[in-house]
Amino acid sequence: MQYGANAMEAAMHRHQSKKDNTMDLGIRGKKAIVNGGSAGMGRSAVLALAREGVDVFVSARTEDRLKKTCEEIAKETGANVTPICADHSTAEGRERILAACPAPDILVGTCAPPPMTPDYREVSAEQWRSAIDISLLSPIEFMRAVIDGMAERKWGRIVNIATVAAKYPAEIRLLSGSTRAALTNYTVAVSKVVAKHNVIINNLLPGMHHSAFVEQQFNERAAAKGITYDEEVAEFSRAWHIAAERFGDCDDVGDFVAMFCSQQANYITGQSLVIDGGATTSTF
């Protein structure tokens, strides 16, 4: 990924620090499905789990990028990382993924974000249907497929990587925030039913991070203004009052995925953790 120079330097520093400071999360040998795991926060989730010795089954639609990601992470970590080229928003894709890993201990769900929506009146019915299929119905169907098995085995972890817009609505993130707000509501409700079986379900609500989507969008915005990527990120951070005055690194989100999947997280369930560098303001 080609961030600006400042963002890349900071990401490399954090990446090295994480490699040097590891903690046993007690999930070595577990099996995980990570949907949408070829890039961005999904890739970072795969990497974090693989570092813990988890066997990871990774789904994505773009085969070349998916295989490259899995090969790179397997080489770095020594873990078993299996690519599954499939569209997890379709019944056929879900069937293919679950055939490869029919009894996962861990389920992580994310997806490429839908387009930004600067004008709510211009969101089409087709865009709504696509967003609902990808970021609401698909993760619900996956949970329905795997939760009973987790409950029978008395161990399971589910983490949905959603968006901060699910909690703090903004017109520009209508397609992303509304569907994932519904997903968050569903997962929290279900978490109360299965917690007694040691099936732990939580959500992550990230704000602005240096993902492939953000890189593309903000390089285009920067080019239109005749400024650099880092300058555009700085302008956006000021305009949206991001207290950290920068975007996050995707690996930071991946690390929280691994933490929520850990043995140590056995008493944390039904939570939705905001990771946005202080852009939003809330006491609770």
Quick one: pLDDT at residue 49?
Answer: 98
Quick one: pLDDT at residue 22?
Answer: 66
Query: pLDDT for 97-152, tens place per residue?
Result: 999 999 999 999 997 778 888 899 999 999 999 999 999 999 999 999 999 999 99
Quick one: pLDDT at residue 191?
Answer: 98
At residue 196 the predicted structure's pLDDT band, cuts being 50, 70 and 90, is very high
DSSP class per residue in 2-46? ---HHHHHHHHHHHHHHHHS----S-TT-EEEEET-SSHHHHHHH
At residue 195 the predicted structure's pLDDT band, cuts being 50, 70 and 90, is very high
Judge if pTM exceeds 0.75: yes
Quick one: pLDDT at residue 9?
Answer: 59
Question: Taking the domain 25-208+249-275, which CATH number applies?
Answer: 3.40.50.720
Query: pLDDT for 227-277, tens place per residue?
Result: 999 999 999 999 999 999 999 999 999 999 999 999 999 999 999 999 999
pLDDT higher than 50, residue 1: no
What residue ranges in the chain does DSSP mark as E strands?
A: 31-35, 55-60, 81-85, 106-109, 156-161, 199-206, 272-275
Task: Kindly state the DSSP code that residue 262 receives in the 8-state scheme.
Answer: S
Taking the CA atoms of 59, 62, 67 and 68 in sequence, report the sign of the dihedral they define: negative
Q: Of the given ranges (73-82, 109-118, 180-189, 201-210), which has the lowest mean pLDDT?
A: 109-118
Share of the chain above pLDDT 70, in %: 92
Mean pLDDT score, 177-190:
95
Query: pLDDT for 84-93, tens place per residue?
Result: 999 999 999 9
Domain residue spans in the chain?
A: 25-208+249-275, 210-247
Taking the CA atoms of 245, 249, 250 and 253 in sequence, report the sign of the dihedral they define: negative
Quick one: pLDDT at residue 233?
Answer: 95
Quick one: pLDDT at residue 118?
Answer: 86
Mean pLDDT score, 21-35:
91
Q: How far, in Å, are 124, 211, 225 from residue 94 at the CA level?
A: 26, 25, 42
